[in-house]
């Protein structure tokens, strides 16, 4: 018999400014670790005012994590120390494994109406993989399969599997699932999830019932839902439909030492990273 996951918590994010002046909403971050292990941070960026995003995220380092950027509107131009360069637009993603160290930049631009919007998720790497070779993957929108389910549910499968259809992002250490789910009014969506994995949903359009638990009732756009354990999630859309991210991954369960864009296991490893940045030896794998 399936065990439906119940809501352990639901909350709204905190407005903040990052990079060189990008306005965004942080759904979880440093102060929430290890609540959503292996996930460290989720930012929802979205503005129709270019001054709130156009200075972007100039060159900066990462080590010990993966960053996943998913665009809804506008574009983001990427460049990194491995020689990768490209532009992602609506429906595109970039999945970057920082590993032993990478220096990159992300520079956003608006669409014809001046809007730039999307998400960035950070996933931790276990100690055994923190110093792996960096890698970068462009994931074009046309490589992300869509699955239409009962009641008209439309699911974009970025990572993981829905009804036998697998997403294009595979071979990631934490065994993630990353789905973009749109439900028409009053439709329901039930999806199996791996027991023991961390699962959350982020509502970004409409509202819906995300299950029983500590925060029952409709959850509206701008709310993150954190689930307890179980082997399936059921969501029912409200009268105007709902669209949300459904994300899961295998917890790592290791100590976290975190300073800005670098996440390791100990303070000493952070000190070494900082010294290598000063010495010019931070990058281990070059173009």
Q: E strand or H helix at 273, and its extent?
A: helix 267-279
Q: What is the average per-residue pLDDT within 57-69?
A: 97
* Termini Cα distance of the chain: 51
Mean pLDDT of the residues in the chain: 96
The structure tokens listed for 14 are: 């905190």
- Confidence band (pLDDT; 50, 70, 90) for 63? very high
Question: Distance between CA atoms of 37 and 124, rounded to whole angstroms?
Answer: 8
Per-residue pLDDT, 206:
98
Please indicate whether residue 52 or residue 170 has the higher confidence score (pLDDT).
52
Is there a contact between 103 and 60 (Cβ–Cβ < 8 Å)? Answer: yes
Q: What is the average per-residue pLDDT within 226-231?
A: 97
Is there a contact between 109 and 235 (Cβ–Cβ < 8 Å)? Answer: no
Q: Tens digits of per-residue pLDDT, 99-113?
A: 999 999 999 999 999
Q: Tens digits of per-residue pLDDT, 196-215?
A: 999 999 999 999 999 999 88
Least confident of 94-98, 99-103, 214-218, 274-278: 214-218
Is there a contact between 66 and 252 (Cβ–Cβ < 8 Å)? Answer: no
Count CA within 13 A, CB hemisphere, residue 29.
Answer: 16
Angle, alpha carbons 136-193-210 (nearest 5°) = 105
How many beta carbons lie within 10 A of that of residue 186, not counting itself? 15
Per-residue pLDDT, 215:
80
Query: Does the pLDDT of residue 1 top 80, yes or no?
Result: no
Q: What is the average per-residue pLDDT within 177-195?
A: 97
Per-residue pLDDT, 287:
65
How many beta carbons lie within 10 A of that of residue 21, not counting itself? 13
Q: What is the average per-residue pLDDT within 123-131?
A: 97
Query: Does the pLDDT of residue 46 top 70, yes or no?
Result: yes
Task: Specify the CATH number for 7-279; select among 2.60.40.1180, 2.60.120.10, 3.30.420.40, 1.10.540.10.
Answer: 2.60.120.10
Per cent of the chain over pLDDT 90 is 93
246 three-state secondary structure: strand
- Alpha carbon 100 to chain centroid distance? 20
Q: What is the average per-residue pLDDT within 136-161?
A: 95
Angle, alpha carbons 6-120-141 (nearest 5°) = 100
């Amino acid at each position: 018999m399936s065990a439906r996951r119940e809501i352990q918590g639901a909350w709204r994010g905190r407005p903040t400014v990052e990079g060189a002046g990008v306005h965004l909403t942080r759904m979880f971050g440093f102060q929430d670790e290890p609540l959503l292990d292996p996930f460290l941070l989720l930012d929802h960026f979205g503005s129709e005012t270019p001054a709130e995003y156009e200075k972007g995220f100039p060159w900066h380092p990462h080590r010990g994590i993966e960053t996943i950027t998913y665009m809804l509107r506008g574009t983001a131009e990427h460049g990194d120390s491995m020689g990768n360069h490209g532009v992602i637009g609506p429906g595109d993603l970039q999945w970057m494994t920082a590993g032993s160290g990478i220096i990159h930049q992300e520079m956003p631009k608006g669409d014809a109406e001046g809007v730039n919007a999307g998400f960035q998720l950070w996933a931790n790497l276990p100690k055994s993989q923190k110093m792996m070779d960096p890698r970068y993957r462009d994931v074009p929108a046309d490589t992300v399969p869509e699955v239409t389910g009962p009641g008209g549910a439309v699911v974009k499968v970025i990572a993981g599997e829905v009804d036998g259809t697998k997403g294009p992002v595979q071979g990631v250490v934490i065994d993630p699932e990353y789905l973009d789910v749109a439900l028409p009014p009053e439709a329901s969506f039930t999806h199996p999830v791996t027991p023991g994995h961390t699962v959350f949903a982020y509502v970004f359009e409409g509202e819906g019932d995300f299950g029983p638990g500590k925060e029952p009732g409709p959850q509206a756009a701008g709310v993150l839902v954190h689930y307890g354990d179980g082997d399936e999630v059921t969501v029912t859309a409200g009268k105007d439909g709902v669209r949300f991210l459904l994300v899961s991954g295998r917890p790592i369960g290791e100590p976290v030492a975190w300073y800005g864009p670098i996440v390791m296991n100990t303070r000493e490893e952070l000190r070494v990273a900082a010294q290598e940045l000063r010495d010019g030896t931070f990058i281990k794998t070059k173009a």
